Homo-oligomer: A and B are copies of this chain.
């Protein structure tokens, strides 16, 4: 069951990460996501990470790369649901994910993506 689904959610895509991401799965996710962005012509991607109890430099890099790839394809990425402990770890590791937008939950992430389209902050 090594597969992270990319879910179409109206005009956005949603990915919830629940499993340990290893190298091959990360590549597959980035590929699936890129294909879906182009195919469905979406403008935004929400990545939900509330299941992740730890987030190491590898996953942080994967998320950054997904955001950068999506941006090149015309979609903004927002990471939502990060646990406080995970945020603390990331800061300690010096990875503040500056290039990636974060939000508290999916609803707020979608609000932010909508505001980007209309050019108005929520």
A-B contact pairs, 22 of them (CB 8 A): A1-B18, A1-B20, A3-B51, A4-B18, A4-B51, A5-B16, A5-B50, A5-B51, A7-B16, A7-B48, A7-B81, A7-B105, A7-B106, A8-B106, A8-B107, A9-B9, A9-B107, A14-B106, A16-B18, A18-B18, A18-B19, A19-B19
Majority-rule SS of A interface residues: loop
CB-contacts of A1-26 with B (<8 A):
1, 3-5, 7-10, 14, 16, 18-20
Q: How far is the CA of A22 from the CA of B119 in the complex (A)?
A: 45
Flag whether A52 is at the interface (Cβ < 8 A).
yes
A85-122 interface bits toward B, Cβ cutoff 8 Å, 1 = contact, 0 = none: 00000000000000000000111000000000000000
Residues on the B chain within 8 Å of A8, using CB: 105-107
CB-contacts of A39-55 with B (<8 A):
48, 50-53
